[in-house]
Amino acid sequence: MRSSSRPSTVEAPLRRRPQQPDRDAQEGRRRRAAQLFKEGHTQADVARILKVSRQSVSRWYESWRSGGLPALKKAPRTGRPPQLTAAQLRRVERALLKGARANGYSTELWTLRRVAEVIAMITGVDYHPGHVWRILRGLGWTRQKPARRAAERDQEAIETWVRERWPELKKTPSEIEPG
């Protein structure tokens, strides 16, 4: 498991994916739009300046016009609150970045079950292995498949075959003399 910005020798790494804009950043964008509305900019101008859709700006404008700046605040978080705090998630991520062997496993291969065990060990919170994937996605990690190579692979024989035999097989019918 690894982040694309951090090197690791793990067999089944996870790679960070770009994060969605956070709710604070989205609220900041709406507040900036309100400021631009006050300055007299048109909705089309605001959309261009903030690089957002005109439909979004139109919704923001109607909210701002009817309720002022408080109407543009972010909505409270919905759903069940998370069991892990941000600090606990950082501790889990640091442990995962150390690798599976550093966490007591015989190989560097991470599985959802192993990640669930590490989470329980560090935080005391038990997660079903099937749910662990959501936590990893929330951290911005994606699944990576290990490259498979045969243990008996003979690199020298492969290079010889590519250099000598492949050109013979690759010849097109026009290169072959009529027989």
Percent of the chain with pLDDT over 90: 45
pLDDT at 179 over 60: no
Buried b / exposed e across 77-108, counting CB within 10 Å, b at 16+? eeeeeeebeeebbebbbebbeebbeebeeeeb
At residue 78 the predicted structure's pLDDT band, cuts being 50, 70 and 90, is: confident
Please give the torsion angle defined by the CA atoms of residues 168, 170, 171 and 173, in that order, rounded to the nearest 10 degrees: 130
Q: Global pTM?
A: 0.47
pLDDT, tens digit (0-9, with 9 covering 90-100), for 125-177 = 999 988 999 999 888 887 877 677 777 888 888 899 889 888 888 776 665 66
pLDDT, tens digit (0-9, with 9 covering 90-100), for 105-128 = 998 888 899 999 999 999 999 999
What is the predicted pLDDT for the residue at 140? 83
Nearest to 60 by CA among 76, 73, 45: 73
pLDDT, tens digit (0-9, with 9 covering 90-100), for 141-151 = 878 776 777 77
143: exposed, middle or buried (Cβ count in 10 Å: 0-12, 13-18, 19+): middle
Contact yes or no for 57/47 (Cβ under 8 A) = yes
pLDDT, tens digit (0-9, with 9 covering 90-100), for 20-63 = 567 788 889 999 999 999 999 999 999 999 999 999 999 999 99
What is the predicted pLDDT for the residue at 53? 94
At residue 11 the predicted structure's pLDDT band, cuts being 50, 70 and 90, is: very low
